[in-house]
């Protein structure tokens, strides 16, 4: 009998690979933070013993959800400016609030708040784009979540850097800081075509190539962005990025709500990943990403929440449901984005976009034990005919009871193990008072 670090017995397991498969009454074996076996429960009893055994026979296990686009610290701005179009939301509310309040303490507390919310909803990995990525990495490391830190790039000064040269210099320092970290990696993050010049984009591309890391950018988010690009550059943003050389399998293009058929073919040809943020796009009235066409063309589509300031939650189970329903309604095809595909978009496709699908995103022996457990026998999920459909169309994030990242138990019986939630709430309350006071003084 082989002795393992951990055995988890479950009522159902969704491995993601192979797709559209559910194992009933199976167990996961974990050793050194990695999956070593998936086998029927009665066989696991005969072949394995473990230092720690969990019997979650009313639960479903699946790979941790991957939030492929976030601005974590903006959790402190949740609800500050709602029901507004993107330009007004950004220019008149978000950017002024950031100029007033963003500092290292804001980033640390906002990131901790975001990670607490994400873990409680089954998110084990997030891809961030915001200021002070060094602080985001520090908080992620302390808590134990997997993260990709966006090395932000803009053409105007902020509290993080004064010009493109300084953004890139500081970004490289952050990359070197986390280069050997087992859970944290980096990505170049030019904010958007309207906020980064051609010269700065080329510098970002050169640095991404040198460091062999992905690039993460907002793209084709609104019709206005495209109109402005045509007026200023004589071409649509995607064509501009192609000329610069940014389109590649290492590019994550976020939003993509306005696409022509030939642009979909272009993305497929280059192997560029599309990050779909359905709820943020809907709330800001930005448009709808044509994910059925993208998937049909062979484009890898992953899911993100965007920030809690524009969503207003970091709920990947909700994004799965919205993505599936929106695709069906937009395409007028009830078979578009079936449940198994929606789950894949929230797990393995996100890992592929981040270049870590050899590490996480599915239950394959040798991959990291990034696992979530979902309670399946409450009233809201009964009766169970198809667990895949149940996860996408019925389960709420309140049903997530346990979360492991690399075998470390970060959410245990619905309680966070590496975050002091009472201290966090106190810090968030102080930020609310400070931000509210600043808003009232400007009124």
Q: Which residues are registered as beta bridge partners of 128?
A: 70, 149
CATH architecture of 2-63+367-412: Roll (2.30)
Residues of the chain with CATH 3.20.20.140: 65-354
Confidence of residue 439 (pLDDT cuts 50, 70, 90): low
Say what the pTM is. Answer: 0.97
pLDDT digit string, tens, across residues 162-216:
999 999 999 999 999 999 999 999 999 999 999 999 999 999 999 999 999 999 9
Q: How far apart are CA 139 and CA 136, in angstroms?
A: 5
The bridge status of strand 34-40 relative to strand 48-63 is unpaired
CA-based nearest residue to 374, from 59, 92, 153? 59
Q: How far apart are CA 77 and CA 189, in angstroms?
A: 21
pLDDT digit string, tens, across residues 4-61:
999 999 999 999 999 999 999 999 999 999 999 999 999 999 999 999 999 999 999 9
Q: How remote is the C-alpha of 263 from its chain's centroid?
A: 24
pLDDT digit string, tens, across residues 347-389:
999 999 999 999 999 999 999 999 999 999 999 999 999 999 9
Secondary structure of residue 245 in the 3-state scheme: coil
Q: What CA–CA distances, in Å, run from 98 to 83, 140, 439, 442?
A: 19, 21, 12, 14
Average pLDDT for 133-156: 98
Question: pLDDT at position 443, please?
Answer: 47
The bridge status of strand 408-412 relative to strand 123-130 is unpaired
Residues of the chain with CATH 2.30.40.10: 2-63+367-412
Secondary structure of residue 408 in the 3-state scheme: strand
Topology (CATH level 3) of domain 65-354 = TIM Barrel (3.20.20)
Question: pLDDT at position 96, please?
Answer: 85
């Amino acid at each position: 009998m082989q002795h393992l670090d951990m055995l988890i017995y479950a009522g159902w397991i969704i491995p993601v690979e192979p797709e559209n498969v559910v194992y009933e009454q199976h167990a996961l074996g974990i050793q050194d933070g990695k999956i070593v076996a998936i086998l029927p429960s009665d066989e696991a009893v005969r072949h394995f013993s473990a230092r720690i055994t969990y019997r979650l026979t009313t639960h479903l296990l699946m790979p941790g959800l991957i939030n492929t686009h976030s601005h974590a610290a903006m959790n402190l701005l949740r609800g500050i400016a709602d029901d507004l179009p993107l330009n007004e939301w950004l220019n008149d509310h978000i950017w002024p609030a950031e100029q007033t309040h963003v500092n290292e303490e804001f980033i640390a507390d906002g990131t901790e708040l975001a990670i607490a919310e994400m873990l409680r909803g089954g998110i084990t990995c997030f891809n961030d784009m915001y200021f002070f990525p060094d602080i985001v990495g520090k908080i992620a490391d302390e808590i134990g979540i997997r993260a990709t830190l966006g090395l932000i790039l803009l053409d105007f000064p902020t509290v993080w850097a004064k010009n493109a040269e300084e953004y890139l210099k500081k970004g490289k320092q952050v990359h070197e800081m986390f280069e050997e970290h087992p859970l944290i990696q980096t990505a170049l993050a030019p904010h958007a075509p309207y906020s980064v010049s051609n010269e700065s984009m080329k510098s970002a591309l050169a640095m991404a190539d040198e460091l062999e890391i992905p690039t993460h950018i907002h793209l084709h988010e609104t019709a206005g962005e495209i109109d402005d690009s045509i007026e200023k550059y004589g071409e649509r943003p995607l064509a501009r990025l192609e000329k610069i050389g940014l389109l590649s399998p290492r590019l994550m293009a976020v939003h993509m709500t306005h696409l022509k058929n030939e642009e979909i073919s272009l993305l497929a040809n280059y192997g560029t990943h599309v990050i779909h943020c359905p709820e943020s796009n809907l709330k800001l009235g930005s448009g709808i990403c044509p994910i059925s066409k993208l998937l049909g063309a062979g484009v890898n589509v992953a899911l993100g929440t965007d920030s809690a300031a524009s969503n207003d939650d970091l709920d990947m189970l909700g994004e799965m449901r919205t993505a599936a329903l929106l695709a069906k309604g937009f395409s007028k095809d009830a078979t578009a984005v079936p449940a198994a595909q929606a789950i894949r978009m929230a797990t393995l496709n996100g890992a592929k976009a981040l270049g870590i699908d050899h590490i996480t995103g599915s239950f394959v022996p040798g991959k990291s034990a990034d696992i979530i457990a979902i309670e399946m026998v409450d009233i809201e999920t009964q009766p169970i005919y198809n667990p895949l459909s149940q996860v996408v169309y019925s389960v709420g994030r309140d049903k997530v009871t346990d979360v492991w990242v690399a075998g470390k138990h970060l959410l245990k019986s619905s309680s966070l193990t590496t975050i002091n939630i009472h201290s966090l709430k106190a810090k968030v309350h102080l930020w609310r008072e400070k931000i509210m006071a600043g808003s009232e003084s400007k009124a």
